[in-house]
A and B are shown apart, each in its own frame.
Chain A
Amino acid sequence: MNARIGWIAFNTFREAVRDRVLYNLIAFALIMTAAAVLVGQISIQIERIVVVNLGLTAISIFGIIIAIFIGVGLVAKEIEKRTLYTVLSRPVRRWEFIVGKFFGLTWTLVVNTFFMALGLFAALLYVAGQYTRADLWLLVALYFIVLQFFLMTALALLFSSFSTPIMSSVFAFAVFLIGTFADELHDVAQMLPGVSKFLVNGLAYLVPNFAALNVISQVAHGEPIEPRLIALNSLYALLYSVAAISFAALIFDRRNLK
């Protein structure tokens, strides 16, 4: 990564921290503490499963919300404050600006996830009394959640490269919803005839596949995750993010900023 991208990423991270994005950690800490203390009293036999499900779901939802709502404002805010012109008047290419923003927000989300994961493991220790080998699979689930953030941040940046923040967040959220329903889209395609079947199937493959990145239920039951799934998900998230960021850079490069 060149130094210019690194600086933009670092400043994006600093700005996110200054915007009190990491305050969500307090809400997460409260949820996990309440879950750890109360779960034994309101349910039976599934204390560990509840803590894992609740912890990973909260990490995922908090991160997706941050990726969408911060992601769509990354470019618009710089234009609105006119700081973008200062940045671009220096020897910084527009694509470098987009890539730097992407890394800055994803780094923020990784740091955020790291602290939440610490909270999750602490709650797990409190509830279960000890760690088991199966708990290692939680790390894979956390890795997949981070990959979800990569996709979501890239998409939010893509939409914000040509639209207003409000419309971009609507688009990003809609794509997230459609992405979670990718399997259902395939089912619908099976019922359609001819070209429409081909088109709907194509659409189902075009939208980001969030379902494959969600292994929360499996790891909650201590089920192992196939190495092939880890490899393919990593490749998928990398390719999809690079594609979305490339489109975003392409559009932003041609955008009239005057």
Chain B
Amino acid sequence: MTRRVLTSVLSVVAICCLAGAMATAVALDRIRGDGLKEEELYLPSGAVLKRLSLGYNGLLADIYWTRAVQYFGDLHHEKAMRYRLLYPLLDITAQLDPHLIVTYEFGSIFLSQAPPEGAGEPQNAVKLVERGIRENPKAWRLWADLGYIQAMELHDYKAASKSFQMGAQIPGARPWMSVMAAAMAEHGGEPATAHYLWTRLLENSEDTMLKQNAANHLRALQVDDDIQRLEAAVAEYRRRTSQQPQNFSQLISAGLLREMPADPLGRPYTLSPDGRVYVQNPSDMPFITRGIPPGMKPAIVPQTF
């Protein structure tokens, strides 16, 4: 056998065997299935991980942050109702790199909102943001995040007012922080306050995902307000005529509406025979609390992650 032939044979054997090994690995992965990929954190302590990182904790924090985002994204995509490892992952990330602000900003949103939009763990979200505030005393936005969780998820408007007030005192904080502090103290639970909060967050966020989230909340507030107004008009029609309206045109003819009502995405609302008003597609309307057709689940946040 000449040297040239030997080289060719060995090259072919090597390439074929490598391809075969890769194919076998794919098969092995299928056999093992998801059952073996248990949802566990092998090292649950951020402090230990930081020591083991040999000073390269910054990179490890980035890896853990990415892991947290992927974990949330995967479960969110499956419309999961439980995110068991989300807080531990975020906590480890924060311990590895206490100055990674995104961990607190985004992590608190992932944690605080009720399932399936989030993990439904507002208390853990508060703990996470409070850690962020301790580690980054100049980051006034974290006070806004804390105030948002306290107001929107925990309905503790007194605490929220205090948080906005604390944030407002930090140099560089936007003037609306003081306005929010006052609004929370006086009109905490009112939709107008929520509207003001989401509008400010929409205007002041630099990130597309945060803007999208604020826009979704503003749309939901609009829908909730529309449904309440339309159902009041239906009730008024019933009071005047002692009949249920069959469509919105009758309400327009009666002078109770000016035009055909549509949701913020431009799709007409539907009027049921029993006088209830619904949105056409609640899956496009995250966070709405009214107008969800019977049998349909509350909306899921659009796939932004």
Contacts of B55 in A (CB 8 A): 180, 210-211, 214, 216
Q: Indicate the size class of the contact surface on chain A.
A: 20 to 34
Question: Does A184 touch B at the CB level, under 8 Å?
Answer: yes
Q: Is B99 an interface residue (CB 8 A)?
A: yes
Question: Does B100 sit within 8 A of A, measured CB to CB?
Answer: yes
A45 near B102 with CB under 8 A, answer yes
13 contacts between A and B (CB under 8 A): A42-B69, A46-B62, A46-B65, A46-B100, A46-B102, A49-B100, A50-B59, A50-B62, A53-B59, A54-B59, A60-B56, A184-B51, A214-B55
Tell me the complex Cα distance, A49–B209, Å. Answer: 18
Say whether A78 faces chain B, with CB atoms less than 8 Å apart.
no
A217 to B58, CA, bound (A): 5
Interface of A is mostly: helix
Complex alpha-carbon distance, A177 and B57, angstroms: 14
B interface majority secondary structure = helix
Q: Is the CB of B99 within 8 A of A223?
A: yes
A211 to B55, CA, bound (A): 6
**B99:A217 contact, CB within 8 angstroms:** yes
Chain A 59-81 interface 0/1 with B at a Cβ cutoff of 8 Å (1 = within): 01100000000000000000000
Question: How many A-B contacts if CB must be within 8 Å?
Answer: 60
Q: Is B97 close to A, CB under 8 A?
A: yes
Q: How far is it, in angstroms, between the C-alpha of A60 and the C-alpha of B53 when the chains are bound? A: 13
A177 CA to B65 CA, complexed, in Å = 26
Residue numbers in A under 8 Å from B51 (CB-CB): 181, 184
* Bound-complex Cα distance A3 to B196 (A): 75
A44 to B305, alpha carbons, bound, how many Å? Answer: 8
Cα distance, A181 to B50, chains bound together (Å): 11
Please give, as numbers and ranges, the residues of chain B lying within 8 Å of A60 by CB-CB distance.
56
Residue of B nearest to A217 (CB): B58
A217 in complex: contacting residue of B54, B57, B305, CB < 8 Å:
B57
Report chain B residues within 8 Å CB of A211.
Answer: 55
Chain B residues near A46 (CB, 8 Å)? Answer: 62, 65, 100, 102
User: Given contacts A180-B55, A214-B55, are A49 and B62 in contact (CB under 8 A)?
Assistant: yes
A112 at the interface (CB under 8 A from B): no
Question: Per-residue 0/1 for B79-113: is the Cβ within 8 Å of any A Cβ (1 yes, 0 no)?
Answer: 00000000000000000010110100010000000
B207 at the A/B interface (Cβ < 8 Å)? yes
Complex Cα spacing A99 to B143, Å: 56
Q: Which of B54, B69, B97, B100 has the most CB of A within 10 A?
A: B54
* A46 to B102 CA separation, bound complex (whole angstroms): 8
CB of A104 to closest CB in B, whole Å: 27
One digit per residue, 1 when the CB lies within 8 angstroms of any chain B CB and 0 when it does not, for chain A 176-188 equals 0100110010000
In the A-B complex, list the 8 residue pairs whose CB atoms are closest, starting with the nearest. Answer: A217-B58, A214-B55, A53-B58, A53-B59, A43-B66, A45-B102, A57-B59, A50-B62
**Nearest A-chain residue to B73, judged by Cβ:** A44
- A50 closest partner in B (C-beta): B62
